[in-house]
Amino acid sequence: MPEGPEVRREADRIARVLTGEPAAEVWFAFEHLQAWSHCLRGEVIQGVESRGKAMLVRFANGVNIYSHNQLYGRWFVKPRGELPVTNRQLRLAVHTEKHSALLYSASEIEVLSDEELDGHPFLKRLGPDVLSAQVRADDIEALLADSRFRRRSLGALLLDQGFVSGLGNYLRSEILFVARLDPAQRPVDLGERARSELATAISDITHRAYRLGGVTNDPDDARRLRGEGVPRREYRHYVFARSGKRCRLCGEAIVKAVSAGRRIYTCPCCQSTGPSGSS
């Protein structure tokens, strides 16, 4: 499933062709939404934004198209009149005079007024979006001390969209590696310094993945490896999907385990639960 950085980059790409343009046509595959096509035709598209892993196409008349790609949804941006070569099923099309934003295979598509957004079952339970300009590492650190979250294992907490939104499986592994923490530890187990470093890692690694298209490894190291002809999958991450390979920092073999029902990757040396992890 795409994580927050990928959804934000997708929203940016769609926004570049839709924002400020009137909708020449809006088409829905789902019958219960088709009446909205007439209401949205001719309305100016104010913007496209992500909220965690969800996306909103926002119109000047206060109407929003909500979508969540889940595992299979995929957006395409094409010149008007062109369609991608794909076996996927088209679910939503937003056309301007010159361009089309086309959503295939997604099953979660809704039309909501501005007033309905805060009450939406998914949106209302989201924590702060890490990629929001208004969310700082200090805000995340305060949440780590909150009674709702402080006794949760980090492995489970970093997948909880009610804690902070947009994190997912690869970000979880990478954040915990950078913060030098074990997934079984809890915020309450950490000292002030470790909580601060974790909050900074949550912010920095998520923003790095956004800027670099999913790359979370050290940018200089990733650039060097890419220049040597190393495939992207080999230089992209510190530990995620690198089971059995050597840690980039200490040389220990990366270990794959299960945490909160999903695979997680750690370095048993760099992420020990010894004194440094609880300082």
Which residues participate in catalysis according to the annotation? 2-3, 53, 262
Residue 68 amino acid letter: H
Using DSSP, state whether 87 is helix, strand or coil. Answer: coil
Q: Order of strands, edge to edge, in the sheet holding 25-28?
A: 25-28, 90-95, 99-104, 74-79
Rounded CA-CA distance 163/168 in Å is: 12
Residue 200 amino acid letter: T
Rounded CA-CA distance 24/10 in Å is: 21
Rounded CA-CA distance 18/81 in Å is: 15
Place of tokens 């010159």: 98
Residue 196 amino acid letter: S
Token representation of residue 3: 């994580």
Instruction: Cite the beta strand spans of the chain per DSSP E.
Output: 25-28, 45-51, 54-59, 63-68, 74-79, 90-95, 99-104, 108-113, 255-259, 262-266
CA atoms within 13 A on the CB side of 240: 20
> Which helix (H) or strand (E) segment is 175 a member of?
helix 169-178
Rounded CA-CA distance 94/190 in Å is: 48
Rounded CA-CA distance 1/6 in Å is: 10
